[in-house]
Amino acid sequence: MHIVYSCVTGSRAYGLHREDSDYDIKRVYIQQPMVMFSVDDKSKTHTYKHIYKGIEADYVDYELRTFTKLAAKSNPTVLEMLWSPEIIVCADVFKANFIKHRKLFLTKHIITTYIGYSIQQMKRYEKDSKPKHIMHLMRLLLACEHALKTGEMLVDVSHQKDYLNALRDGDIGINREEMELKIEELEQIDTNLPQNRDFPAINDLIYEVYAHWFKIYLNAGDRTEKE
């Protein structure tokens, strides 16, 4: 496989990390033609640990088609990748397509997705009383609000660091009623985001990246045969 994009996510991307925080690295790869066009296509999402900057990091590798499907569904983790403040690797063809046209993945669908993930965080908190869930809940709602108002995804929330850390440490809290009020406010925002996703345009992004890579791969094969 060939890595076309790699970035830092999680607390270090949010600007909420501490001295002992590990790294979360997310990557996008494209599969070799001989693997992709076979009955044994094993283009899976891979999770593993590896060292990054001398610290153990949690890695997740997404095949390009899987990554795109998740982004089109407004998956928060994947959307954050496209707006990560710390990019490690970014192939020119990925930058020219996915980064340049990342707003294709921002539609009003994020309201449903982000509210759904926020409610999940509240359910987790009600089950185990861990305040980190409340912090993630508010971070998701803040990101959704920012996207609806500006048309850009908010990842670095260091400007809200004191507030979010206070939530994470349990110094302050939010109950279900307060969350529901915040959700009502989000649903009333007058946004310029499109209603629906432009799937033909999104499919073109996948095609452009894979076509570029296959051309390089096949040309390399031609040279090898001639040699």
Q: pLDDT, tens digit, for every residue of 90-99? A: 999 999 999 9
Are 205 and 98 within 8 A, CB to CB? yes
pLDDT > 70: percent of the chain? 93
Mean pLDDT for 22-51 is 84
Spatial distance between the Cα atoms of 39 and 5, rounded to a whole number of angstroms: 26
| Tens digits of residue pLDDT in 136-169 | 999 999 999 999 999 999 999 999 999 999 999 9
For the chain, the domains span: 2-105, 109-187
Structurally, at CATH architecture level, domain 2-105 sits in 2-Layer Sandwich (3.30)
Judge if pTM exceeds 0.85.
Answer: yes
